[in-house]
A = this chain, B = another copy of it.
Amino acid sequence: MEAVNPIEAHAVDMSEVVEKSHKAFIQYRKKSSEERAVFLEKIALEIEAEGDSLIEIAARETNLPATRLVGERGRTTMQLRIFASMVREGSWVEASIDTALPDRAPLPKPDVRKMLIPIGPVIVFGSSNFPFAYSTAGGDTASALAGGCSVIVKAHPAHPETSERVYKAIMRAASATNMPEDTFQHVHTDNNGSKALVQHPHTAAVGFTGSYTGGKALYDYAQQRKKPIPVFSEMGSINPVVILPNTLEKNTDLLANSFAGSITLGTGQFCTNPGLLIAIESKSLETFIRTLSMGMTQVKPGKMLHEGIYKSYIERRNKAIRQEGVDSIVRIEGKEDFMIGNAMLASVKGDIFLRNPYLQEEVFGPYSLIVRCKNAEELKNVWRSVAGQLTTTIMGTEEDFASHRELLEIAADIAGRIVFNGVPTGVEVCPSMMHGGPFPASTDSRFTAVGIHAVKRWVRPVCYQSCPEILLPDELKNSNPLLISRFLNNQWSTEPVV
């Protein structure tokens, strides 16, 4: 195990870091797709080569169980390989070609071609709850490197050694695949250093996963820049779940047990944790609550990520249950030390929820608030009142859906992902995934942080008009040497231009 010497960082150091990143970018973007793909794959291999000791360090630093960390590392290397495949396949650049019509009247039509190019150095602020998959070599880093951007990761202070080890794995991969120096950099710094990174003129974009406070602060730093840049802060969510009457009656126990697991999964430390359950008052709801409570008490308590998160959880949880009209249902206090997770279930009536915006605040951890609505109208109003979310879930039978078609509109208004008859925890890594949602879930609801489309955050289109064939990038050449899919005269095609 290596010693970690967090760098004492100041604004001036950060300036040097970004300058170096910019120099690296100028070289790195010239690397071929194949070279970038090999680099990403090599990172995955080097992370795997870290073996059990990496898992041990991460487990010690985060309190997450080894099995979970092994799974998360697998997702991380899988993401790197998915982006490698995407880069190697090549069509992600959205090449578009409109050929010339020299005889068009009244004016000839020029040859116009377009493709996506990388925007520049990207600063990545990793999360505490995903020490691998949304940290040093996580989705933001993988997608930015795939897109051709250089990357500076600000190590998360909750797991500096894990971050340092992954950084060294990336460095070995960069060296083995001859990547330009400083294509990837890793810094330990404080709030001032973070601000300097975001505000440096050469910084082209920012990716963040974490709390609203942290993500909004970075967004605000960026707004103070002379030249605006995109900031993608994914800031968590309470992920409202609507349980419709028919399914509540028919599947009471099944639902209760499923949510007992989802609320407490990873000690509730997922940004997709279901923090709000909305249902109409009924006998079934009371049964559901009893079974859910029992289920939650049976879940083995787990340590939270670190003391700060634990304290914030207790504080926010206690503040939530002190609100007028909020009843505590389950309260499972930890036994060993302050790091033990504390599951909590509370409930409130719909009209009270509607009057108190505090009840929408995220309590990061194993907490969920049940909103008891007096009828379908109130349920809809409660749901509609909720601010932007990463996900929202609808539990219902065919009968429920038939009588509540308009629910889908509410769902799409408030969230980036709508889950049907499932739990929001667990984010599938695939092209159709959307991880991101209306503010305050994220700062830009038009982009996903998960899946190959995450690369679109780090690129911009550039158009070549009447460009001589010899100067065109391979992606836009007549012969289509990379055999990619291109939007050629209004049709997707892999054919050459004739």
Contacts and interface: CB of A to CB of B under 8 A. Distances in A.
A424 to B, nearest CB: 9
Interface string A443-475: 111101000010010011111111110110000
Given A426-B107, A439-B228, A468 B431 contact: no
A230 interface: yes
Interface string A240-257: 000000000000000000
A358 interface: no
Contacts of A119: 445-446
A119 B467 CA distance: 36
Interface in A167-220: 219
A434 interface: yes
B98 A430 contact: yes
Contacts of A492: 485, 492
Given A412-B462, A417-B465, A433 B227 contact: no
A112 B429 CA distance: 10
B112 A420 contact: no
Contact of A468 (B398, B419, B490): B398
Contacts of A448: 461
Could you say how many copies of this chain the assembly holds?
2
Interface in A76-125: 96-98, 106-107, 109-110, 112-114, 117, 119
A415 interface: yes
Interface residues of A, number: 67
A110 B432 CA distance: 11
Contacts of A405: 471
Given A416-B461, A448-B461, A112 B430 contact: yes
Residue among A106, A468, A485 having the largest count of chain B Cβ atoms under 10 Å: A468
A460 B445 CA distance: 6
A70 to B, nearest CB: 11
A223 interface: yes
A426 to B, nearest CB: 7
B114 A465 contact: no
Contacts of A434: 114, 461-463
Contact of A433 (B418, B460, B463, B490): B463
Interface string A393-427: 00000100100010011001001111111100010
Contact of A465 (B97, B422, B465, B485): B422
Contacts of A417: 462-465
A341 interface: no
Given A416-B462, A418-B462, A468 B401 contact: yes
Given A227-B440, A445-B460, A468-B398, A432 B113 contact: yes
Given A440-B227, A443-B228, A433 B114 contact: yes
Contacts of A221: none
Interface in A57-71: 71
A373 to B, nearest CB: 21
A444 B456 CA distance: 13
A428 B408 CA distance: 39
A487 interface: yes
Contacts of A444: 228, 230
Contact of A432 (B112, B446, B456): B112
| Residue in A71, A96, A432 whose Cβ sees the most chain B Cβ within 10 Å | A432
Contact of A401 (B401, B419, B470, B490): B470
A249 B256 CA distance: 81
A432 B470 contact: no
Would you list the 3 A-B pairs with minimal beta carbon distance, nearest first? A434-B463, A417-B463, A96-B432
27 contacts: A26-B409, A98-B428, A98-B433, A107-B426, A109-B430, A110-B428, A112-B430, A114-B431, A114-B432, A223-B223, A228-B439, A228-B444, A230-B446, A398-B468, A401-B468, A405-B471, A408-B471, A415-B462, A417-B462, A418-B462, A420-B464, A420-B467, A420-B468, A428-B465, A446-B456, A448-B461, A492-B492
Given A119-B446, A428-B465, 19 more contacts: A109-B428, A110-B428, A228-B443, A401-B471, A415-B462, A416-B460, A417-B463, A418-B462, A418-B463, A420-B467, A420-B468, A421-B466, A422-B465, A422-B466, A431-B487, A432-B487, A434-B462, A434-B463, A485-B492
